[in-house]
Amino acid sequence: MDYRKAYWFEQPHMSGMFNVAVQPIVDPRDGRLHFAVPDSGIWALTGKVIKDTGDYFEFECNDSVMGARGGTYKFSALDIKTFRKETWKWIAQGKDIAECCQNTADLHFWYRKNWPNSRVAEIGAWEMEENRRKGHRTDT
């Protein structure tokens, strides 16, 4: 999982319902996964990461907490080739996004710029403060 990327994911409780997750990050304070979903806001899932290869990760929800929205969410990093071939059709402004992004890095930047996850900065600030409190360097 890379908080600088955007991922394509299917909602396990709604077969065939795909969405984009922007800047996913796990909060070390409570283990919840936070990510921005365009036109929907910040989502938070309770559970744990069960697989992570960087460009692909799976998050297993705690169904006793998540209820009907539980299950295992599978996230695949967006790439420009797949986006231009098929993903753009399912995305608001998809054609415009595909045309303005020259490569995968541009695509991820576009999503971070237009749909930032405010929790990334908040969690980062908390982590820096924790490191300072513990006497760990924060400049490396």
What per-residue confidence (pLDDT) applies to 80? 96
What per-residue confidence (pLDDT) applies to 9? 93
pLDDT digits 0-9 by tens, 124-136: 888 888 888 888 8
CA distance 75 to 18: 10
- DSSP reduced 3-state for 136: coil
φ and ψ of 48, to 5 deg:
-155, 155
What per-residue confidence (pLDDT) applies to 5? 96
Please provide the DSSP assignment of 45-91 as one string. Answer: E-EEEEEE-SSEEEEEE-HHHHGGG-SEEEEEE--HHHHHHTGGGGS
What per-residue confidence (pLDDT) applies to 140? 60
CA distance 36 to 40: 8
pLDDT digits 0-9 by tens, 65-77: 776 677 899 999 9
Query: In which residue ranges of the chain is pLDDT below 50?
Result: none
